Amino acid sequence: MKKLGKIFLTIIVLLTALVLIFNEPIKVKLVQQVSQSRLEHLSKDQIRQNNLRDASFDFSKVKPITVKQAAKAAVKNNAAAIGKIAIPSVSLKLPIVKGVDDTALATGGGTLKPDEKMGEGNYALAGHYMTDKGALFSPIARVQIGDLIYITNLKNVYTYKVELKQVISPRATWTMNNQPRTKMITLITCADGGANRWLVQGKLVNARVANRETLAVFG
């Protein structure tokens, strides 16, 4: 009996180890598939409809992304995508989704305020940081001052130039506030294992009509 018990315990330990080893790659793969699908198939009509949907903007309820959460987003694939974001310098290309609920943040960058409009005020987005450098908002940790950030609603393409990058406290909600006569973008993701946040802010450089040429950066 003791021998059987040891064998059973060994099997449990091995299965647990396998789950831990493959958990992160599975999660990353699921997230990347969902993001890519929403990015490739987004249309103006979908954006119009998604802008009318209700969404949660309570960032305090956001939980660390799990395999279950990523799988749910992959199966339902119903995050309210309302645009796209690209940062070529760090190979970031993601859908922009309305709100910051779990499904939204397992898909792309979520809007932090219900009244945000591209090219106006302080367009604030938040996203999950994952250990894989190419997943969700992870590449933001490598953004440098002077890098260009592009966002689009498929009607116009807005270009911002990064002017600020720093680590902030999770309580620094002032970063989302509008600034007088300033058109800017704010990107936020986790830093220091979730204890703090990366903050990246840029000023609007230009706004151009969306066409094959200006949308190429999102492809």
Residues labelled as active-site residues: 128, 190
Distance between CA atoms of 154 and 172, rounded to whole angstroms? 31
Long-range contacts of 24-30 (CB under 8 A, 24+ apart): 24/131, 24/132, 26/67, 26/70, 27/65, 27/66, 27/67, 27/70, 27/130, 28/130, 28/131, 28/132, 28/135, 30/67, 30/70, 30/71, 30/73, 30/74
Distance between CA atoms of 173 and 44, rounded to whole angstroms? 31
Amino acid at 33: Q
